[in-house]
Structure 1
Amino acid sequence: MMQQTATGGSFSPWDDPNEEPLIRFEQVTKRFGAFTAVDRLDVEIFKGEFFALLGPSGCGKTTLMRMLAGFEKPTEGRILLDGRDIGPVPPNRRAVNMMFQSYALFPHLTVAENIAFGLKRSDMPKADIPARVNEMLNLVQLRDFAGRKPHQISGGQRQRVALARSLAKAPKLLLLDEPLGALDKKLRQQTQFELVDIQEKTGTTFVIVTHDQEEAMTVASRVAVMDHGRLVQVDTPDRIYETPNSVYVADFIGDVNLIEGNVASVDGERIEISWAEGQSPIIGCSASPPAAGTRCSFAIRPEKVAISAERPPDAANAIRGHIHDIAYLGNISTYHVRLASGHIVKAQAANSRRVGRRDFTWEDAVWLSWTETAGIVLTG
């Protein structure tokens, strides 16, 4: 799947067999006593990527990042940076920088002095440091705040100071550990786009650790979904969302309806799924259909389920139920519809009318419908 860059070109080095990765994990395992935090992990990250490690607390994503930074060493396996095993290389000798959630700014130094701090301890000639600091201030749009102390600027601005300081030494790789966790929702969303813009301007490879699905889907060129120390799926955000490879990924990313059943029949790519007594089979499609009799889950996103008062005449799938609950989210409403089988299926609809004039309310009888290709059949 191709990603669009800011200049309009495509960016998908992972699809090019001749492209060498910047980072390669080879059968990396990390144990803490009897506990395995990372389990025989293989993954490649390419130059210029904004790569997201996504998963619940305790899944191993932070341990993976700390091994990249050099704060932890693999128990087994190798981590290569530009083809070199960085296991023996101490953190301060790696072409890697890390930005922490706390930002760790020096309160007694100005914004400019915070950015210059690492440069003054590097090999950069002293005469070149002011120009580099100015370049970073312009990059993060904080030139007018250069003389202020951290407590004199906003949380979003402190985040940008930390980012500028991390990028000042031009690392090959920047690691971001929950970098936006301290920001409120609206500022976090705004800063996500700023991060992407800065990453594209610098060309630095970013690896971000987050448990926020929306954040990962917004910023990343690819997302790695983790569970219990393993990578469950590594793919572009659209493919992670539209074609999850397992029930775990489908359920973890976004909102989804999961209906369990058995494959009743297969005709080419067309599948019929028997799922509840007295209900018509669900009609779906799969490029690699499972055999008849296979236990499966049918996953469909609420926005792909239409809701109507009358049965749509040409719908491949149509189920009747009653509205059990409504979640009003401003621009959309999510309708929780209880079926005769007891299943609850969610459908989303845009709120094109004001609340008092919407079409459906609690306990209304409605039809839910979707096309043959709207959902995905999962066996894992």
Structure 2
Amino acid sequence: MPEDVFAPWDDPEEKPLIRFQNVTKSFADSIVIDDVSLDIYEREFLALLGPSGCGKTTMMRMLAGFETPTSGRIELSGKNIVPLPANKRAVNMMFQSYALFPHLTVWDNIAFGLKRSKMPKDKIAARVEEMLKLTRLGKFAGRKPHQISGGQRQRVALARSLAKAPKLLLLDEPLGALDAKLRQETQFELVDIQETTGTTFVIVTHDQEEAMTVASRIAVMDEGKLIQVDTPDRIYESPNSVYVADFIGDVNIIEGRARKQGADLYGIDWADGQRLLAVTSERAFTEGQPCHLAIRPEKITISADKPVHADNAVQGKILDIAYLGNLSTYHVELPGGMIIKAQTANTRRMSPRSFTWEDAVWLSWTVTAGILLAE
């Protein structure tokens, strides 16, 4: 592996900074976290991603010390931190509301935790200046929170959280209050700050795009379980289940039965009177096993004429068109009533659309474009 590739999770010699070992958390009769084991590495930016109620915030609160596991062990640098109270952990948490003190200036908000820890005045001043520089807030140091923008308040909360140099910073939906454009800008700022400080970040989000942008790895959760933990590209290109494929990005899911065609080649029997769909798969499927073909809309080509040498080609009729500026998404109805989405990039300004509603079109894709999933 090249030296500059950051992937400690692929190195068996690398020891994790955080280790969840068979952690379960129950409230009354309800299991919120179900026997979860997870390693998080130093300098990593991990995203806990999932729908509301999947357990991601409970995972974070247990790390912070606000909740205690019902069973299992949580380690920080090899030591069990479950018995430690929140204020004795080298962990800081940044809340969605930012929780800034309205009567204090930006400078004093950042200095607050340092003053409470009895740090000498000159060291406090030096550390606050360092944090102001890191978050580009120098010229706002004398302002109160209500005198700065939402994005700047977010950076003040981040500077305050990082001021005490925690080993681990927990971010609970930190960009939820920002508008879409500012959120996008702030995502890149977060990544830059995390790389500069080398602090391990764990972010809780239900926004898949945010997770894909900021995280070195994503832990996809559902109903208290970890479904897949992997890098953003692997989660997108090689999901391990229909749930993950469907949760991250846009996807077409075609149900059928697997028919062995060659070494790693399968035909998918998916509709009466239709040719088998060809797909390669490293996962083995038995003859006739129910399966799902997951294929991203951008991997499907749309054309007026039947493609001559395509691995897979199906004909349908355009039902809907979504024009998204940079992309157009075509919803194409196949003879059996199934609707498949295909995407094209709008690379030329004001170029006329090739297809319109009710047009008969062909959809085609290669044998390696889709991924075959059992469930």
- In 1: Cα distance, 2:170 partner to 2:214 partner: 14
- Tell me how far apart the structure 1 counterparts of residues 259 and 8 of structure 2 sit (CA, whole Å): 40
Deviation at 1:296, TM superposition (A): 0.2
**Paired position in structure 1 for 2:135:** 140
Distance (whole Å) between structure 2 residues aligned to residue 354 and residue 215 of structure 1: 28
**Aligned position for 1:374:** 369
SS of 1:135's partner is: helix
**Which residue matches 2:214?**
219
Equivalent in 170, 175, 180 of residue 175 of structure 1: 170
Distance 2:63 2:181 in 1: 31
Partner residue in 1 for 2:21: 26
Given the alignment of the two structures, is residue 322 of structure 1 paired with residue 317 of structure 2, yes or no?
yes
SS in 2 for 1:267: coil
- Which amino acid is the alignment partner of residue 51 of structure 2? P
Q: Deviation at 1:124?
A: 2.1
1:359 aligns with 2:360: no
Q: Which residue of 1 aligns with 2:116?
A: 121
Of residues 27, 44, 49 in structure 2, which corresponds to 1:49?
44
Residue of structure 2 equivalent to 1:313: 308
The alignment-based identity, stated in percent, is 70
230, 234, 241: which is aligned to 1:235?
Answer: 230
Deviation readout 1:185-228 (Å, 9 max, x if unpaired): 00000000000000000000000000000000000000000000
Partner of 1:257: 252
Q: Does 1:281 align with 2:276?
A: yes
Task: Please give the alpha-carbon distance, in whole angstroms, between the structure 1 residues aligned to 2:201 and 2:334.
Answer: 45
Find the partner of 1:196 among 191, 196, 201.
Answer: 191
What SS is found at the alignment partner of 1:357?
coil
C-alpha distance in 2 between matches for 1:98 and 1:315? 52
1:312 deviates by 1.1
The reply to whether residue 65 of structure 1 matches residue 68 of structure 2 is no
Please list every run of 5 or more consecutive structure 1 residues that lacks an aligned counterpart in the other structure: none
The answer to whether residue 319 in structure 2 is matched with residue 337 in structure 1 is: no
CA–CA distance in 2 between the matches of 1:38 and 1:276? 39
1:90 maps to 85
TM-score scaled to structure 2, two decimals? 0.98
SS of equivalent residue, structure 2 residue 261: strand
Q: What TM-score results when the alignment is normalised by the length of structure 1?
A: 0.97
Distance 2:350 2:26 in 1: 54
- In structure 1, how many angstroms separate the alpha carbons of the residues matched to 2:5 and 2:299? 28
| Counterpart amino acid of residue 124 in structure 1 | M
Q: Which residue of 2 aligns with 1:299?
A: 294
Deviation of residue 351 (structure 1)? 1.4
- Deviation of 1:272 after TM superposition, in Å, equals 0.4
Asked if the contact 1:266–1:291 (Cα under 8 Å) also holds between the matched residues in 2, the reply is no
Q: Is the 8 A contact 1:52 1:220 kept in 2?
A: yes
Quote the Cα distance in structure 2 between the aligned partners of 1:285 and 1:185. 38
Matching residue within 262, 276, 283 for 1:267: 262
Indicate if the aligned counterparts of 1:306 and 1:368 stay in contact, CA closer than 8 A.
yes
Q: Which amino acid aligns with 2:163?
A: A
Residue 22 of structure 1 and its aligned partner are, at CA, apart by 0.2
For residue 166 of structure 1, the aligned residue among 154, 161, 167 is 161
Q: Please state if 1:110 is matched with 2:67.
A: no
Give the aligned length: 375
CA shift at 1:354, angstroms?
4.8
**CA-atom RMSD in angstroms:** 1.1
Report the equivalent of 2:241: 246
Offset at residue 53 of structure 1 (A): 0.1
The code of the aligned residue for 1:175 comes to L
Q: Which moved more, 1:262-271 or 1:14-23?
A: 262-271
CA contact (8 A) 1:271 1:289 kept: no
Q: Tell me how far 1:331 sits from its aligned partner.
A: 0.5
Amino acid in structure 2 at the alignment position of 1:70: G
Pairwise CA distance, 1:373: 0.1
Amino acid at match of 1:281: L
Q: Which residue of 2 aligns with 1:16?
A: 11
Matched AA of 2:132? L
**Structure 2: how far apart are the matches of 1:356 and 1:269?**
41
Q: Distance in 2 between matches of 1:28 and 1:376?
A: 31
- How much does 1:327 deviate? 0.7
Is residue 332–residue 349 contact of structure 1 (8 Å, CA) maintained in 2?
Answer: yes
SS of structure 2 residue aligned to 1:311: coil
Paired residue secondary structure (1:182): coil
Contact 1:351 1:358 in 2 (8 A): no
- How far has the Cα of 1:355 moved from its partner? 5.7
CA distance in 2, matches of 1:235, 1:266: 30
